[in-house]
Amino acid sequence: MEIFTSWTSWRQAEGPLGEVLPPETVGALRDAVTFARRWHGAQQRPTGRPYLDHLLEALEVAVAGAGVDDRDVLVAIVLHDVLEDTPCTEAEIAGRFGPRVAALVRWVTRPRGGAKADHLASLVKAPPQAVLVKLADRASNVQELQRMPWRFQRSYYLETVAYIMPLAGSHPWFARWYAEWRERWRRVERWPAH
């Protein structure tokens, strides 16, 4: 199973992106990273790592792994958590990156006060481009499941198997990646519930 953790800064991502994407797309991604960095500020992942690491990992999964080259999908991957985790509004995303990017981010954003399981289940109705955003996001989150607090590993694993893996079926690269991931982490299924 391939792991995507080599882009921990825009400087590390820009060169590889420039080799496979048009300059306009790389420029849009540079703007998106700056925008996300401003909104996420000093936020950290549960592991204590800077939040930007996760966004760049998800981008690396999509580009270096799945070969995604759709500008709006890639920008949405970088911005996928700004509505859920910051005061940023959909209008601000649309004004800066266009209504399609804003719509993709909205699809993957859990409504405030909404149940996580309900939101994940609703993604079966999402456009394929929004599904790509979610698949890259979750791949970043689970590729090294040991980074997660151990108490949450089993529930997050089971949630991924139940809600995310079915979404991967129509995307061959993601279907293969998640199947390999599940095989690697299948032992978690035998752990007792916490």
User: In this prediction, what percent of the chain has a pLDDT beyond 70?
Assistant: 99
Angle subtended at Cα 161 by Cα 157 and Cα 165, rounded to the nearest 5 degrees? 130
**Residue tagged active-site, from 84, 90, 92, 159:** 84
Q: Residue 112: which pLDDT band, with cuts at 50, 70 and 90?
A: confident
* Residue 92 is among the residues annotated as catalytic for this protein: no
Is residue 194 very low, low, confident or very high in pLDDT (cuts 50, 70, 90)? low
Q: Is the pLDDT of residue 151 over 80?
A: no
Task: Provide the token pair at 33.
Answer: 């990273």
pLDDT at residue 191, rounded to an integer: 78
Which member of 2, 69, 85, 118 is catalytic? 85
Specify whether 85 is catalytic.
yes
**pLDDT for the residue 169:** 93
- Is 77 a residue whose pLDDT tops 70? yes
CB 79 within 8 A of CB 97: yes
CA distance 9 to 5: 10
What pLDDT score was predicted for residue 45? 83
> Domains in the chain, please, with CATH?
10-190 (1.10.3210.10)
**CB contact at 8 A, 98 and 72:** yes
- Global pTM reads 0.95
Q: Which helix (H) or strand (E) holds 28?
A: helix 23-40
How do residues 14-46 score in pLDDT, each as one tens digit? Answer: 999 999 999 999 999 999 999 999 999 988 887
